[in-house]
Structure 1
Amino acid sequence: MMIIYVLLTVFGCILVCFIQVFEQYIRKEQEEECASTNYPKAIDKNAEEITKRIKVLRSMNAQKRKVKATENKACKHRRITPRKYNIMRGKKAGNPAFLVCFSRRGGPIGLVHTHEWHTVV
């Protein structure tokens, strides 16, 4: 009986020693992962991700600028104030047509300068 007790305590001590060695090994690996030698790699990886995001944002901004420029051109060409257009008598008094252009330029959209627009009353 005494021999069994001694053997169990010896095996228990050996088991505790193995657990401590294993824990030290795990701690050492974790410290190596956090070591300063890995920082440059992490910094480079973050820098690459940031540059990718910046490229995407720049392309989005460029597309927005192009769309805004075309919208501004269209608005400028179509902007009408009462001083800039001529009033003409139309054939149908009940159905007046606004912003009729008599000299179309600029393709199928027909964008023209403001002084070439007329209003039919």
Structure 2
Amino acid sequence: MNITLWIITSVLALAFLAAGLMKISQPKEKLTASGMAWAEDFSPTSVRAIGAVEALGALGLILPAALGIAPVLAAWAALGLAATMLGAAAVHLRRKEAKAIPVNLVLLLLATVVAWGRFGPYAL
């Protein structure tokens, strides 16, 4: 099960790192034009902050456990990313963007599984 958790953690980290870096590096207008219509509701600073949370969460999933320095932080990072996905799903629901919600729910589920495993029976 520990290997499965590492695989899930790696997939989550790659997804959140890519999404976060995109939000940090791209102007809000370009993000909106590329299909992230939700960004219209947020200031450029907020969009970058969301990207920073996602990128730092991705690093938090991997680095503490891999380096053996406060590995419980990986579980907290997973929990934080799960909360981020709850917020994202709420935004998409409010904006009636139903097509985006399944992605949020899958990422929420995966992050919850990692948090459960790292807080519980497979803590590092």
TM-score range, shorter chain: under 0.3
TM-score, normalized by length of structure 1? 0.23
TM-score, normalized by length of structure 2? 0.22
Q: Which has the higher contact order (CA 8 A, sep 6+)?
A: 2
Structure of larger gyration radius: 1
More strand by share: 1
